[in-house]
Amino acid sequence: MSEQHRAIPFAAPEPDQTLRAAFLSATYGPAWQRFRLRSELEGQHTAEDSEGSEPGWAAGVRSWVIITAWNPGGQIQTEWDNAEAHQRLLARVGRAGLVPTLAVNGDDQWRETALILPGASLRDGLRLGREFGQAAVLYGVGRRVALVWLGTDRRKVDRGGVDRRRGQRCRVERYWMQTVG
């Protein structure tokens, strides 16, 4: 029997390509350590990219999540609405027992206040991202980063890209962290 890759027919739908391009061209992280997403094929794999080499803000934690409450669904909101959503996210993260680090997602028109959640699980990221209407969140382990697109379809499937507890689908794209500047 062949060990060929089979596409999972119930995977989450492809994200909007304009929105995807914005995520892939953006920078992320705190002001002192920004990064971009890059695939292994985009450049040489260096010692800095190894799994054991985590960014300073993730030192000593198994995993991390970067999330924002700004511009839900990729729709630009007023500064007031974004500030109010960010305060709700801060309160929610505090109730979950997570200690955030302030970060920034994106640049120019799409520059958004965000939070890094050291020690957060993928499930934490999925839950918070959906609660705050986000199109995607970043989940990482060391310098490995997953761009996790959040689906809204609640059909349950038995494998691949699924929050099984709720049956909500997501699509995962895997990248390496590439430090900027």
Helices (H), the chain: 17-25, 79-95, 122-131
Supply the pLDDT for residue 6.
45
Per DSSP bridges, beta strands 35-38 and 101-105 are: unpaired
Residue 99 falls inside a structural domain: yes
Q: What pLDDT does 110 receive?
A: 75
Question: What is the extent of the structural domain holding 68?
Answer: 17-179
Q: CB-side exposure of 172: number of CA atoms within 13 Å?
A: 16
Q: Identify whether 163 is part of a domain.
A: yes
3-state secondary structure of 91: helix
CA angle, 115 as apex, 146 and 149 as ends, to 5°?
30
Phi, psi (5° rounding) for residue 115?
A: -125, 140
Percentage of the residues of the chain whose pLDDT score is greater than 90: 55
In a domain, 1, yes or no: no
pLDDT in tens, 149-180: 997 544 433 334 444 555 567 889 999 999 98
- Determine, yes or no, domain membership for 114: yes
Give the closest residue to 153 by CA, choosing from 145, 163, 138. 163
Q: Give the pTM.
A: 0.81
Asked, for residue 97, whether it belongs to a domain, the answer is yes
Any domain includes 61 = yes
Domain total of the chain: 1
The closest of 136, 149, 135, 96 to 118, measured between CA atoms, is: 96
pLDDT in tens, 4-34: 544 444 456 678 898 899 999 999 999 889 9
Residue range 113-135, pLDDT digits in tens: 999 999 999 999 999 999 999 99
